[in-house]
Chains A and B, each alone.
Chain A
Amino acid sequence: MAQILVEGLSKSYRVSERQSGAWGAVKGLFRRQVRIVEALKGISFELERGELLGFIGPNGAGKSTTIKVLSGILEPSSGRCEVDGLTPWRNRMRHVARIGVVFGQRTQLWWDLPVIDGFELLRDIYAVPDSEYRRTRDTMVGLMRLEKLLDQPVRQLSLGQRMRCEIAATMLHRPSILFLDEPTIGLDAPSKLAVREFVKTLNREQHVTVILTTHDMHDIEALAERVIVIGNGVILADTSFESLRTEVLTERRLSIDFVGEAPALSIPGVAVCSREGNSLELSFDPRAVAVPQLIGRISAEYELADIRLEQPRIEEVIAHFYSLHGATEA
């Protein structure tokens, strides 16, 4: 049976509004306008134990809301959800003892406490036996390279250091499911790599189920085999990352530097993106125009200095996908 089961999950928020300006403020004293915002409109999916799922979508799509419902923080308006046989918001205390959650934009460690004190507080809160705690802590300290940070108050850490501590703190009670909500936001490249490496290790070696939301497509590319794209509260795609890439945007780009000025080519099925000095950039669909023939044809007619074939960047793929589905943020 699936470890995580989500069926027709909906969540709406009430948002108070008032018209702008002084008159709007006065009117607001007597009559409040309440708008219902539907953050989730009936999403469904299943996840097996040990899977690593990437959750992507534009800002405001409903990713964080999904994570908050699954982790028992928010109660949905309707729908069913079971995690390891428990309904998160009904069996909250038992449920949260088994999961770990990291919010990339928030802090769980107490700001004024040294990191190690924060860890011990969590040990007591989760009632982790001391021997087990020591073992997990030492593993985490090793994996996340925290030796030098343990005695520092959290407020003195850099964002990257703090996030490494946060993730280690989340694992102290050995959760079997890990929710990561934008864990790499604002991190520098080495910290991002460390976080990715760590998540990969947990998932591959300890079979921790992971749900990851991110705006950094390199996170997804490095980690997730399965991706759910969410937009405006509905699931737009639930597929492998590779098929997302090939199905959504098949376009290829060919950049050519000529010896001498770039010619004004006109080949059916090939569009000229830019032509400047010696350089020419072409775009085409590889299913309609074969790459070797295209290169052969051009190199037969002109003398070439350099040639580069590129796939569109992942960000472009995703942006294109969002706009196809009208899923960009309102």
Chain B
Amino acid sequence: MRAQGYLSVFRMRFLLMLQYRAAALAGFGTQCWWGFIKVMVFAAFFHSSLAHQPLSFAQAVTYTWLGQAFLALLPWSGDPDIAELVRSGNVSYERLRPLDTYFYWYVRAMAFMSARAAPRAAMMFALASLILPLIGFGAWRLRAPATTEAALLFIPAMVAVVLLSSAFMMLINIATVVTMSDRGANALAVPLVIALSGSIVPLPFFPEVMQRFLFLQPFAGLVDIPYRIYFANLSGAVALAGLLQMLTWTAVLVFAGHRAMNSAMTRLQVQGG
């Protein structure tokens, strides 16, 4: 019965976010620019070193373009709507809905992220896999998934990214409710997310001793694990372990977030008006 409410919230937010075409185009433009810079850095790096690298040049380039395509799925800030609710005091109305406030906001975060990412990812795939070879940059293109198995595993992996990333976003939202401002939590989130997810440097390029830790920590599921599944750097049992890792962290973060939300809401103070 109540599932209808959450579904409807997801649908409305998703459709709403799709309206922002100018923002999607601007974001796409920026992501292209950074994508080219990163690919050029990799090209220089692979040309200057003959040592064996953990990823091939083609894999590193694919990793980069995937990162640019799905950049909007990274939880480096809270939900701007929730920050606005906290600023304006409209958070009161959220508590008047016969919904679990955590999951009410969680589905909104999921809709927000996926609707932002969908058009950007479509444009990026078109550019990096179709247009680049046509204009003579075939070596710098985004490759297709390495195997059928990789392609099939990549779909649930991206769903898990949205689930995991939304759970992260919820922690930022809750910090926003508690501190009455989204600044602190956003500032803390950015460096953690870009460094530990593999967004800035793919995690396999980190020192060997760190690899086990990097694979197990929760941010790896945002970027590194799904992308390595895509080009079959992780495959078979390891790929499944990666998926399990993502879902486990999602469950942990949702559980922790749900508890934190309840305690934040019992201490809620809404002043004036």
Which residue numbers of A lie inside 8 Å of B, CB to CB?
Answer: 13-14, 64, 68, 71-75, 89, 92-94, 96-97, 99, 101, 103-108, 110, 112-113, 117, 120-121, 124-127, 181-182
With A13-B271, A73-B268, A75-B266 already in contact, the answer to whether A68 and B92 are too (CB < 8 A) is yes
User: Chain B binding site: helix, strand, loop or mixed by DSSP?
Assistant: loop
> B89: CB under 8 A from chain A?
yes
Contacts of A105 in B (CB 8 A): 89, 273
B16 to A112, Cβ gap below 8 A?
yes
Q: Are A96 and B272 neighbours in the complex by a CB distance under 8 Å?
A: no
Tell me whether B212 is interfacial, beta carbon within 8 Å. no
Q: State which residues 186-212 of B face A: CB under 8 Å.
A: none
Chain B residues with CB below 8 A from A112, complex form? 16, 19
B95: A residues at CB distance < 8 A: 72-73, 92, 96
Residue B98 interfacial (CB < 8 Å): yes
- Across the interface, B273 reaches (CB within 8 A) one of A89, A106, A110, A113, namely A106
User: How far does the Cβ of A230 sit from chain B's closest Cβ, in whole Å?
Assistant: 16
B273 contact set on A, CB distance < 8 A? 64, 103-106, 181-182
> Once the chains are docked, how many angstroms separate the CA of A101 from the CA of B273?
13
- Which residues 1-60 of B have a CB within 8 angstroms of A? 1-2, 4-5, 7-9, 12, 16, 19
Residue contacts A-B, CB under 8 angstroms, 16 given? A13-B271, A68-B92, A72-B95, A72-B96, A75-B266, A103-B92, A105-B89, A106-B90, A106-B92, A108-B96, A112-B19, A124-B5, A124-B9, A125-B5, A125-B8, A126-B98
Which residues from chain B contact A103 at a C-beta distance below 8 Å? 92-93, 273
Interface size on B, residues (CB 8 A): 28
Q: In the bound complex, what is the Cα–Cα distance between A14 and B271 (angstroms)?
A: 11
Question: Of A75, A101, A124, which is in contact with the most chain B CB atoms at under 10 Å from its CB?
Answer: A124
Contact of A74 among B1, B93, B97, B268 (CB under 8 A): B268
Contact (A73, B270) CB under 8 Å given A103-B92, A113-B16, A125-B99:
yes
Say yes or no: A120 contacts B16, CB within 8 Å.
no
- B4's nearest neighbour on chain A, judged by CB, is A124
Residues from chain B with a CB closer than 8 A to the CB of A94 are: 98
Asked if B269 lies at the interface with its beta carbon under 8 angstroms from chain A, I say: yes
Query: For the complex, what is the distance from the CA of A292 to the CA of B52, rounded to whole Å?
Result: 111
Going nearest first, the 7 A-B pairs with the smallest beta carbon separation are A124-B8, A97-B98, A105-B273, A125-B5, A108-B93, A73-B95, A93-B98
When distances are taken between beta carbons in the complex, the residues of chain A under 8 Å from B270 are 68, 73-74
Q: Known interface pairs A64-B273, A121-B12, A124-B4. Does A71 touch B266 (Cβ–Cβ under 8 Å)?
A: no
* Given A68-B270, A106-B88, residue A125 in contact with residue B97 (CB < 8 A): yes
Residues of A within 8 A of B19 (CB): 112
In the complex, which residues of chain A have a beta carbon less than 8 angstroms from the beta carbon of B100?
Answer: 93
Chain A residues positioned under 8 Å from B90 (CB to CB): 106-108
In the complex, what residue of chain B is closest to A104 when comparing beta carbons?
A: B273
Chain A residues near B266 (CB, 8 Å)?
75, 89
Cα distance A68–B5 in the bound complex, in angstroms: 23
Pick the contact of A125: B9, B88, B89 (CB < 8 A): B9
Residues of B within 8 A of A108 (CB): 90, 93, 96
Q: Indicate if the CB atoms of A101 and B271 lie closer than 8 Å.
A: no
Known: A110-B12, A112-B16, A113-B16. A101 touches B96 (CB 8 A): yes
Question: Contact at A73–B5, with CB atoms within 8 Å?
Answer: no
Cβ B271 vs Cβ A124 within 8 A: no
- Chain A nearest CB from B16 CB (Å) reads 6
Q: For residue A108, which residue of chain B has the nearest CB?
A: B93
Chain B residue at minimal CB-CB distance from A109: B93
A68-B92, A71-B96, A73-B268 known, 12 other contacts, Cβ within 8 Å: A64-B273, A73-B95, A73-B96, A93-B99, A96-B95, A97-B98, A103-B92, A106-B93, A112-B19, A124-B7, A127-B5, A181-B273
B5 CB to closest chain A CB (Å) equals 4
Asked whether, in the complex, the Cβ of A96 is within 8 Å of the Cβ of B96, the reply is yes
Say whether, besides A73-B270, A105-B273, A110 and B16 are in contact (CB < 8 Å). yes
A105 and B169 CA atoms in complex are apart in Å by 28
Binary per-residue interface labels of chain B (233-273) against chain A in the complex, 1 for a CB within 8 Å, 0 otherwise: 00000000000000000000000000000000010111111
Provide the bound-state CA to CA distance between A75 and B9, in Å: 26
Cβ < 8 Å to A, chain B residues 92-109:
92-93, 95-100
B44-82 vs A, CB cutoff 8 Å, 1 = contact: the mask equals 000000000000000000000000000000000000000
Contacts of B89 in A (CB 8 A): 105-106
Determine how close the nearest CB of chain B comes to the CB of A233; give it in whole angstroms: 14
